[in-house]
């Protein structure tokens, strides 16, 4: 039995109230955890403060959205200035154009794009654009990849869908997902066999280039390059869902990091700097089919709104100007943190696999390497819960599920990292007490 981290508190009372009006007491399932989530009062830099005044060093960073930490002054200032000029116009602004031009500079595959409000919208419309362009119905997604919560992709989906045992959601007619082929990630043979069988019916392959919604799983050597080759040979649109990897692995995301150019990409999270914003885009010949130029319909009242676009434009300018300092420093800090975690896991004799890339990391409690969804699901979840609860008690917040990834920001200080490694020590001790024989 894992001892919960929180006892009587204002958060508990708020959660009781919330449960009466919001399903599960939350507005997104990943926010619900046992015995109840803490309710945030405010946040600054690397830390969040709850309704009882307790501070947490934050490695969730709004599920990766906050690369520069909470309430980054330059972004807040730019948004304040925009607020005074209006929040929504329903007609275009210069800001949207200069912002899109800046995105295109860092993600050259996006010859044309559309701004939208969430990652879910971005992947939904990218798939529609790929189907419209190819005039084919089928798509391939991979087990454990999460592409948002729309019908076509909620099949063996990661993140909250796996955490809460609903990888295939109720409410989605099977006719809707019968054109979604689900394959294991990192398995090029399975992909080749599928393309051999029905390659010319497959409109798109959508993939998280690095799996970050079932813990963290890295692509095997040349996996993405082979994915590129096979899709090109079959006239299938390759979509990199870079909602997490975009602006995290590098300024140009996974496309730059692995030097593989997809036909389309989706961006979100970091791109909006804490505001609702995402984008989908790709080759001109595909995007020219979007309404009003072509017959693929896509629209949105809030799309490209000046507040989100200003936040996005500001962060992209910062990242473009300081990329040579920001990305190496984030990687160094992540390596330092994960080294601490690996060393402590060994000293507590805890079976552990720790993965990291750029500013992402995660631990799995198992002695077997993790290369796909099936392996991730076989790690010891009870140990993870004990580890999470003890970190929370210590004042370190990581995403509450094994099927998520931890994120560093530029706001994490050397002191934060030392404090966290100290907390890892206690959390791994707690985890080792619940150990299942494997
Ligand atoms: C890879 C990926 N794609 C899409 C989404 C959906 O994004 P949003 O939550 O903004 O709808 C997420 C969300 O976590 C994601 O991680």
Structure tokens at 90: 């329903």
Q: What is residue 161's predicted lDDT score, i.e. its pLDDT? A: 81
CATH assignment of the domain containing 311: 3.40.640.10
**264: which strand partners?**
239, 282
Distance 243 CA to ligand 1 centre (A): 6
Confidence of residue 8 (pLDDT cuts 50, 70, 90): low
In a domain, 2, yes or no: no
Give the model confidence (pLDDT) of 149-198 as tens digits.
999 999 888 888 888 877 788 999 989 999 999 999 999 999 999 999 99
> pLDDT band at 435, cuts 50/70/90?
confident
* Strand segments (E) across 22-107: 40-44, 47-50, 55-58
- Which of 146, 154, 249, 254 should be mutated for ligand 1, with most atoms under 8 A from CB? 146
pLDDT, tens only, 309-328: 999 999 999 999 999 999 99
CATH number of 329's domain:
3.90.1150.10
In terms of domains, do 119 and 109 share one? yes
375 located within any domain: yes
pLDDT exceeds 60 at position 434:
yes
Q: Which 8-state DSSP code applies to residue 347?
A: H
Expressed in angstroms and rounded, the spacing between residue 156 Cα and the centre of ligand 1 is 15
What confidence score (pLDDT) does residue 166 get? Answer: 77
214 and 347 belong to one structural domain: no
Q: Are residues 125 and 35 in the same domain?
A: no
Instruction: Report the candidate in 214, 233, 211, 225 with the shortest Cα–Cα distance to residue 260.
Output: 225
pLDDT score at 1: 47
Q: Is residue 83 part of a domain?
A: yes
pLDDT over 70, % of the chain: 97
Within this chain, do residues 240 and 312 fall inside the same structural domain, yes or no? Answer: yes
Per-residue pLDDT of 14-42, as tens digits, reads: 999 999 999 999 999 999 999 999 999 99
Which of 293, 319, 345 lies at the terminal end of a domain, its last residue? Answer: 319
| Structural domain includes residue 148 | yes
The pLDDT, as a whole number, for residue 436 is 62
What is the band of 74 on the pLDDT scale with cuts at 50, 70, 90? Answer: very high
Q: Are 140 and 204 in contact (CB under 8 A)?
A: yes
d(CA 104, ligand 1 centre) in Å = 20
Range of 348's domain? 10-71+323-433
**What is the separation of C-alpha 165 from the centre of its chain, rounded to a whole number of angstroms?**
19
CA atoms within 13 A on the CB side of 313: 21
Mean pLDDT of the chain: 96
* Co-location of 355 and 254 in the same domain: no
Residues 107 and 240 in one domain: yes
Closest atom, ligand 1, to C-alpha of 242: 1
pLDDT at 437: 58
């Amino acid at each position: 039995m894992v001892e919960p981290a929180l006892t009587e508190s204002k958060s508990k009372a708020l959660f009781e109230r919330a449960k009466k009006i919001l399903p599960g007491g939350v507005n997104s399932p990943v926010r619900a955890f046992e015995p109840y989530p803490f309710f945030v009062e405010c946040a600054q830099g690397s830390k969040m403060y709850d309704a009882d005044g307790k501070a947490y060093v934050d490695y969730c960073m709004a599920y990766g959205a906050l690369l520069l930490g909470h309430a980054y002054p330059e972004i807040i200032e730019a948004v304040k200035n925009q607020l005074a000029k209006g929040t929504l116009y329903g007609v275009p602004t210069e800001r949207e154009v200069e912002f899109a031009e800046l995105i295109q500079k860092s993600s050259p595959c996006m010859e044309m794009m559309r701004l939208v409000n969430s990652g879910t919208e971005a992947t939904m419309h990218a798939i529609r654009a790929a189907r419209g362009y190819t005039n084919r119905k089928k798509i391939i997604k991979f087990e454990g990849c999460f592409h948002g919560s729309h019908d076509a992709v909620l099949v063996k989906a990661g993140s909250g869908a796996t955490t809460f045992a609903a990888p295939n959601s109720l409410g989605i007619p099977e006719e809707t997902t019968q054109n979604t082929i689900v394959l294991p990630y990192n398995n090029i043979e399975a992909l080749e066999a599928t393309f051999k069988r029905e390659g010319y019916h497959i409109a798109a392959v959508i993939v998280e280039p690095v799996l970050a919604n079932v813990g963290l799983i890295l692509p095997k050597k040349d996996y993405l390059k082979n994915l590129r080759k096979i899709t090109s040979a079959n006239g299938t649109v390759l979509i990199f869902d870079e909602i997490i990897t975009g602006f995290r692995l590098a300024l140009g995301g996974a496309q730059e990091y692995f030097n593989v150019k997809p036909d389309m990409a989706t961006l979100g999270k970091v791109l909006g700097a804490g505001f609702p914003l995402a984008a989908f885009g790709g080759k001109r010949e595909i995007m020219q089919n979007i309404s009003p130029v072509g017959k693929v319909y896509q629209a949105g009242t809030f799309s490209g709104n000046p507040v989100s676009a200003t936040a996005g434009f500001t962060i992209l300018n910062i990242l473009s100007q300081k990329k040579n300092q920001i990305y190496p420093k984030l990687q160094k800090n992540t390596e330092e943190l994960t080294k601490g975690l690996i060393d402590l896991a060994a000293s507590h004799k805890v079976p552990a696999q720790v993965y990291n890339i750029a500013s992402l990391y995660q631990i799995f409690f198992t002695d077997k390497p993790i290369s796909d969804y099936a392996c991730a699901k076989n790690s010891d979840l009870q140990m993870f819960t004990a580890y999470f609860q003890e970190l929370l008690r210590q004042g370190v917040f990581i995403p509450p599920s094994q099927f998520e990834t931890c994120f560093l920001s530029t706001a994490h200080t050397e002191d934060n990292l030392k404090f966290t490694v100290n907390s890892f020590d206690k959390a791994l001790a707690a985890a080792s007490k619940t150990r299942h024989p494997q």
